Amino acid sequence: MPDPTPETLFDRLTTHLAAWHGRRRLRDALLWAPRAGLAGLLLAVVLATVARLRPFLDNTQVGYIALGLGLGGLLAGLLAVLLRRASLLERARFADRQFALRERASTAVEIQQGALAAPPALARQQLADAVRATDAVDARRGLPLRLVRRDWLVLLLALALLAAAVLLPNPQENALKQARAVREQIETQIEALEALEEEILNNPELTEAQREDLLEPVQNALEALDPAGTTQEEAVATLSEAEADLRALEASFSPDDLQARLDAAGQPLAENAASQSLGEALQNGQLAQAGAAAAALADNLPALSAEEQAELAQDLAETAAALAEVDPALAQALADAAQALQAGDVAAAQQALQQAAGTLQQRAQEMAAAQQAQ
């Protein structure tokens, strides 16, 4: 039987080195994977302890976190071992140390890789000697796979502590639920305030001053509310203050007395064909439409006969009298229009009606602001 070639001998050597490297990684995995998993579990034990001293996590969350940390540590330990690379020379040096090969394997690799120069005959003899030595190695005895009992005992202890933390009642459970309920309520209020803020910004019927007045308490409340750091008492105080401010604005914006008297005040005008649209708009509380109707009536005054103008003047005077105590500015504009018509001054009556139209448009904006503040 012919002697094996150097290539065949070197293949046998590298096969041994690859197998031992795999066994080495398995040994290291059995050693370090439980330790890495234990590190994650010990961190979970610390979190579970904190959760029992202050409202931090409930038992279910502790369980999930412990599972994640334990598996994460185990996976990290396995990856650290299994992804570690080793060159052929490093594997040979490990084999020399582990199996007392007296540098036979590393020398053979260095000669084959050209790192060491040797005559062909001597190189072949050295390689053959290295292969004989590696063939005689008992890897199970020289590189045993062992479990460190102490590591597993500590791991079991950590698991027992975590099981107790998950299964036993948490004294902070009620406080934690209350804190979460408060946080959810605050988040709900924040969403409502943000929606109100958006509605105020997009309301075309508000003047810029009214918009700023309405936004101020809303934005102040949004700045004061923090789901993570606001207590229930602070949240209630903030919302109460914002509500009080908005109610004050509602009172200042809302011409309630005007709206209560509009039906009676608009009746004379509604019964007049020339001013019917203005009277009906007033009776329906549609101030913006009433403003437009007043402007249209001002434009149509020259087309009215003297008799129609006189009748309209009387109706305007009655409406002005009905509104005198509620809205003096609007009442004065309507009274001026009535007096001008009675005097035959159509241009002055038109100007007074245009002024009344502007006042009605302003009151419409104030009504919109009042509804926004509610």
pLDDT tens digit string along 171-209? Answer: 877 777 777 777 777 777 778 777 777 877 777 656 676
DSSP readout, 200-256?
HHT-TTS-HHHHHHHHHHHHHHHHH--TTT--HHHHHHHHHHHHHHHHHHHHHH--H
| 259: confidence class by pLDDT, cuts 50, 70, 90 | low
Per-residue confidence (pLDDT) for residue 91, from 0 to 100: 92
| 5: confidence class by pLDDT, cuts 50, 70, 90 | confident
List, for residues 314-364, the tens digit of each pLDDT value. 988 888 888 887 777 888 988 998 898 898 888 888 898 889 888 888 877
pTM for this predicted structure: 0.47
Q: Which are the contacts of 18, defined by CB distance < 8 A and separation ≥ 6?
A: 91
Could you tell me how many residues make up the chain? 374
Name residue, tokens 């961190």. 43
Rounded (10°) angle between helices 120-135 and 104-112? 140
What is residue 146's three-state secondary structure?
coil
List, for residues 134-143, the tens digit of each pLDDT value. 999 999 999 9
- Calculate mean pLDDT across residues 284-294: 83
Higher local confidence (pLDDT), 238 or 76: 76
